[in-house]
Structure 1
Amino acid sequence: MCTEYEQHISYTQYCKVMQDLALGIPTHQSELDMPAANNIKIGEMAPVIRAAGDNIVELTQMKFGFPPTRTRGPVFNLRSERKHFGDSHRCLIPASAFFAYTGRKYSKAKHRFALVSAPLMAIAAIWRPSRKGQPAAFTMLTTESGPDVEPVHNRQVVVLHPLS
């Protein structure tokens, strides 16, 4: 599934979208809170958008993937169907593209997916607070693939389009 994404969104673009959505941004936030990144991979720190009060959102750095369990590796994708997230910490991952891979052995073919109609998207995610010395972490929500991703993979991340 999605183990990597890119974020080439300027802070100005981010602020414009938040303004269009009538959401405020804390005054202490700046370009430094949204550095461009070609390939954000599992285990790396990256910015996410989360609620910080009534109609206020903030960018905060979190680790991509929940920590490994005793029996499995890090949780980086989570099926969204038939789940309720009302008690979860929800967040959005600002992204310019996500990647899916085909093939069973190394080296797999890498496929890039981006919106044609907008320079940025948000990937639906949930996050957990820091635990046992680990930083706060996020995992992407997934759903059945749409017609563009389906030829490559049977699942995809939940993509939210910015308002036009």
Structure 2
Amino acid sequence: MCGRFSQAYTWDEIVAFSQPLTVPADRPNLRARYNIAPTTEVDIIVLTEAGRELRKARWGLIPGWHKGGLKDFKLATFNARVETVETSGTFKHAYKSRRCIIPASGFFEWTGEKKDRVPHFFSAADGDLLAFAGLYERWRNPETGEESTTCTMIVREANAWTAQYHDRMPCMLLKQDFDAWLDGSGGMELLKQPPRDLREWIVSKRVNKAGEGDDDPTTVEPFKDDLF
């Protein structure tokens, strides 16, 4: 699973990375976030008639068929397992027609005992952004009538190097596969190909608390003893 990640990039960086985004007349201000937890709002890239657009979505997919309120949906859906994403009642419809890319500057995993977990930060070895394969849904809250966009991140079995930290990792798309993923012409072969080369370092244990240091770039810097 992947339960925490980072989105920290400038507008020019995300436009270039997305090859490119459809640029609006007024470029929005992007808030750098370093310790994103499930159920919070994240950036996703979707394909529309206008091209690739950057949208906001709640991290934790709620299928369109859910008729209850937000509190009535009890499933943890911030991750979708690649092994079952095509057949799961929660994800299969989005897999067929509502795909997205979740851009990331890195993600976290932990080692050690539960009471004294050590956080590790992973980012692309070449310093570029990462493209996590995702799905999105539109869901209308029957209590408020408000429509929300929600999303999930697809995860796979970890490769040999990442497995020393966790047995799962995000499915990462290569830039040349963005079109095939978003338009649905590509499938499992994109999700199961070798992931990007990554680098890793230990960061401050304050990220063990969801949302802690979310606006602080030092959150993802290599730890120093005085940070603990």
**CA spacing shift, 1:141–1:44, aligned 2, 3 Å:** same
Aligned residue type for 1:122: A
The corresponding residue for 2:15 is 15
Q: 1:13-34 deviations in whole A, cap 9, x for unaligned?
A: 112223xx3x4514246242x3
Q: 1:103 offset after TM fit, Å?
A: 4.1
Aligned residue type for 1:8: A
The corresponding residue for 1:125 is 134
Q: Does 1:155 align with 2:159?
A: no
**CA spacing shift, 1:134–1:42, aligned 2, 3 Å:** farther
Aligned residues: 158
Q: Which runs of 5+ in 2 are unaligned?
A: 63-69, 87-91, 177-228
Larger fraction in helix: 2
Q: 1:136 offset after TM fit, Å?
A: 1.2
Q: What percent identity do the matched residue pairs reach?
A: 24
Q: Which runs of 5+ in 1 are unaligned?
A: none
Quote the RMSD (CA, aligned, Å). 2.4
Q: 1:118 offset after TM fit, Å?
A: 3.4
- Length-normalised TM-score, structure 1: 0.82
Q: Does 1:61 align with 2:70?
A: no
Q: 1:69 offset after TM fit, Å?
A: 8.1
The corresponding residue for 1:40 is 36
Q: 1:46 offset after TM fit, Å?
A: 1.2
Alpha carbons 2:21, 2:54 under 8 Å: kept: no
Alpha carbons 2:17, 2:129 under 8 Å: kept: no
Aligned residue type for 2:130: M
- SS of 1:138's equivalent in the other structure is strand
The corresponding residue for 2:102 is 93
- Length-normalised TM-score, structure 2: 0.61
Larger Rg: 2
Q: Does 1:140 align with 2:156?
A: no
Alpha carbons 1:95, 1:122 under 8 Å: kept: yes
Which residue among 9, 24, 29 is the counterpart of 1:27?
24
Q: 1:10 offset after TM fit, Å?
A: 1.4
Q: 1:66-97 deviations in whole A, cap 9, x for unaligned?
A: 25785844311111125436524100111010
Give the Cα separation in 1 of the matches to 2:8 and 2:73: 35
The corresponding residue for 2:80 is 78
Aligned residue type for 2:151: F
**CA spacing shift, 1:161–1:131, aligned 2, 3 Å:** same
The corresponding residue for 2:115 is 106
Q: 1:108-136 deviations in whole A, cap 9, x for unaligned?
A: 22111111113201111101103214621
Aligned residue type for 1:60: R
